[in-house]
Structure formats: C-alpha cells, structure tokens
Amino acid sequence: MVCEGSSSFDMEEVQEIQFNIKAQEANKGDSHSYENESNQPNSPQTRRFALWIRIGIYSFLALFGQAAATLLGRLYYERGGKSQWLATLVQLAGFPILLPYYFFPNKKCKTKTNHNTATTTHTIQSNKPSTLLVASLYLVLGLIVAANSFLASVGLMYLPVSTYSIISVSQLAFNAFFSFFLNSQKFTPYIINSLVLLTISSVLLVFEPNSEESSKVSKGKYATGLVCTVCDSVGSGLVFSLTQFLMKKVLKKKSFSVIVDVIVFQSLVASVAILVGLFASSDWATLREEMNEFELGKVSYVMTLSWTIITWQLFFIGTMGLILEVSSLFSNALSVLGLPIVPVLAVFFFHEKMDGIKVMSMVLAIWGFVSYAYQNYLDNHSSKNDNPISNSQNNASPEKEIND
C-alpha cells in the first residue's frame, strides 16, 4: 500500500513538473517573441508608412517622366526633327545613367538567429531562377520594348500629342487582359468599370471631326499614326504584364536592385535592336544635317534629346517601382492619371485645340481611374489577404528578406 501510494504520488508530481516546464517554455517563447517584436526597428506601421512613401515617390517619377518625355518628343518633331529611329533610341538609351548603382556597396540584412541559416541558404539556392529563363525573358522584353518604342515614335510624329496620349490609355485594357492569364489578376466591378470607361475614352477619338487638319498631316499618315499607337498600346500592355511576371514569379526579390536590373538589361537589348535599325536605314547619315536645321539651334537640339533621355528613365524607374510594389495594372492605371496633364500642357506649349470630344474623353479617363482608385481604397480597408498592397509587404518570405 505504501509503495502504491508513493508511486501514485510520484506520477502526479512528475505530471505537475512537466506541466510547469511546458508553461514556462510557452511563457518564455511568448516573452521572446514579444521582445523581438518590440525591439524590431521596423514595426508594421513603420513598414506600411515606408511602403506608401515609396509608392508616392514612384508615382511622382512616373507622372512627371511621362508628361515631360511626351512633350519633349513632340517638340523634337515640331521644330524640325525627322528621324523616327533617333526618336526611338532616346527613349531607351538612357540606361547607362543607372550603371553607377552597381558600384555602390550592397547592404545585407543581419539575422539574429543562426540555427536555420544553413537551411535558409540551401532553400534560397534551390529557388534561384534559371539563368537561361531570366536571359530569355530579358531578350523577349527588350525586343518588344524596341518595337513598342518605334511604334510610339511613329504615332507621336503623325498625331497631336493630346490625341496620342488619350489613345495610349487603351494599353490598360490590354494590360488587364494579359495580367489575367500571366499574373492571375482579379477583377471586381469597379475595375471592370474602370477598364470600360478608359477604353471608351480612347474609342471616342476615332469620331473626332477634322482630326486630320488638326494634326497637319494627310489622312493616310493620320491613320498610320492611329494604327501604330494602338499597336504600341497592345505591346505595352504585354510588357507591363511580363515585367510583373518576371519580378514577382521568376526573380522573386523585392529591392531597388531588381528595378535597376530590369531597366538596364531590357533597355540594353532594345537599344541594340534600335541601333541596328538606325544604321540599316538612311537616318544616321542625315542626323548632322537635321541638327544644323533644327529651328531652336544646335544646343537646343542636343538638350532636347538629352532631357528626353533623362525623363524617360525617370518614367521607367517609376513604373517599374509600382509594378514591384503593387502590380502592373496599378502602375498602368496611375499612368492614366497623368492623362489630363499632357493635353493641358500641349495647349500652352503647342497651341493645340481642346474640342468637346477630347474633353469628354478626358472626363471618362479620369472617371475610370477614380473607379480603379476606389477599388484600391476598398482593398486597403479589407482583410490583409485581399489587400494586394499589404500582401506585397507582409507576405515577404525569409528568403526575400535576406535577398533584399
């Protein structure tokens, strides 16, 4: 009896000790977790604020770069520029401006825990994308960008800058189409409403009366400008979607170095393709004469091309940053927000007319963007799983954190 009671007492004591040990470990884990969370330099609120700061900076660069580059491109043609290949090259040849970035020392994150370092490193190496796949995507993107830039140069040459800008809005619809298949883009009634309104705003310009006279070109050239601009919109929509696919599903890294890599490599391929076209045509032999005959003088000729190069790079940084932080469709929709800027500025700089159809197109375009922006507002106040902006920050894996 004594032994039995003693055994029973020992068993209860052991169970109680085990329970206390587990409770202490749980409390220690909670305390450690809380300590890490409280000592973490970047709280969720700070990270969210920093995210919106980055989105704001990228948005400004995209809007300013788009408006300035489009106006400078039109100024080149208005004052005597004739080379479509050169006008295309200046859109892409500015990537050497970003090369000094590669000489800056990379900042690497230091992790406090080391017990999973070997496993994490092995996972990162195993998830590293194929070099052949990445190179192929850069090659495809570069060639499409080269074709798009040439089509845009033709469209800008034959169309008024306001007409060209508003027609370019149709790339948002094509972007949505390609993103549905490549990036599993979700569509809500507000986004569909936005796409419909933006598409109608472009179609309205087909019925613009006396559009040929306003552009000072023949009907044939005006039609060519329309076709080239629409084709450019299709290609641009594809490029936006492919870029998001490359950044988020292939490279799987979230840092400014990704933006620089994509711009540099695709621009390098595109610039080589355009240079081949420039020297294969007869345009290169007439560039000196073109500079001498430029209405504003040689210095203004060089400055116009130089600032066009710089502003296009600002636009690329802004759009790539928005694709990385949010999505290609958001980046494209923000470009639409800059739609009213170019036609209004064109009235002052090129004395273009703003007739009723253009005004109606602008109103529909603004309405379409507001609809899209309202959907993002709803997403921002819904659950984190339904919020693409929050997910882009909160769903980052440890592998991404170390890569950054």
Question: Block means of pLDDT (10 residues each) for the chain, length 404 residues?
Answer: 47 57 53 43 74 88 88 86 88 90 67 45 59 90 91 84 73 81 78 77 62 62 87 88 88 86 93 91 85 90 93 92 84 73 71 72 76 71 48 42 41
pLDDT computed for residue 212 by the predictor: 45
Residue 24 lies inside a defined structural domain of this protein: no
pLDDT computed for residue 162 by the predictor: 67
pLDDT computed for residue 263 by the predictor: 92
Closest CA to 341 of 68, 153, 76: 68
Which helix (H) or strand (E) is 102 found in, with range? Answer: none
218: alpha, beta or left? (left if phi > 0; alpha if psi -120 to 50): beta
Residue 12 lies inside a defined structural domain of this protein: no
Closest CA to 363 of 200, 208, 161: 200
What number of H helices and E strands is found in the chain?
A: 18, 0
Please name the residues in contact with 56: beta carbons below 8 A apart, sequence gap of 6 or more: none
Q: How many C-beta neighbours within 10 Å does residue 156 have? A: 25
Distance CA 337, CA 323 (A): 16
Distance CA 173, CA 105 (A): 40
**Distance of alpha carbon 225 from its chain centroid, rounded?**
25
Please calculate the CA angle 122-127-132 and round it to the nearest 5 degrees. 125
pLDDT computed for residue 401 by the predictor: 39
Structure tokens at 331: 């980046």
Long-range contacts of 118-124 (CB under 8 A, 24+ apart): 120/398, 120/399, 120/402, 123/399, 124/399, 124/402, 124/403
pLDDT computed for residue 139 by the predictor: 93
pLDDT computed for residue 202 by the predictor: 64
Q: How many domains does the chain have?
A: 1
pLDDT computed for residue 269 by the predictor: 94
Please name the residues in contact with 86: beta carbons below 8 A apart, sequence gap of 6 or more: 278, 283, 287, 305
pLDDT computed for residue 79 by the predictor: 87
pLDDT computed for residue 122 by the predictor: 46
Per-residue burial over 266-296, b if 16 or more Cβ lie within 10 Å, else e, is bbbbbbebbbebbeeeebeeebeebbeebee
Residue 108 lies inside a defined structural domain of this protein: no
Identify the domain containing residue 198 by its residue range. Answer: 46-102+127-403
Distance CA 84, CA 156 (A): 10
Burial level of 136, CB count in 10 A (0-12/13-18/19+)? Answer: exposed
Q: How many C-beta neighbours within 10 Å does residue 306 have? A: 13
Distance CA 200, CA 114 (A): 57
Q: What is the dihedral of CA 113, 118, 123, 128, to 10 degrees?
A: 110
Closest CA to 145 of 256, 268, 275, 323: 268
Residue 21 lies inside a defined structural domain of this protein: no
pLDDT computed for residue 174 by the predictor: 82
pLDDT computed for residue 312 by the predictor: 92
Structure tokens at 243: 């870029």
Contact 154, 225 (CB under 8 A): yes
Structure tokens at 190: 């507000």
**Residue 129 carries which DSSP code?**
P
Residue 166 lies inside a defined structural domain of this protein: yes
Residue 386 lies inside a defined structural domain of this protein: yes
pLDDT computed for residue 304 by the predictor: 92
Residue 60 lies inside a defined structural domain of this protein: yes
Contact 237, 175 (CB under 8 A): yes
Percent helix, strand and coil across the chain, each rounded to 5?
Answer: 80, 0, 20
Residue 10 lies inside a defined structural domain of this protein: no
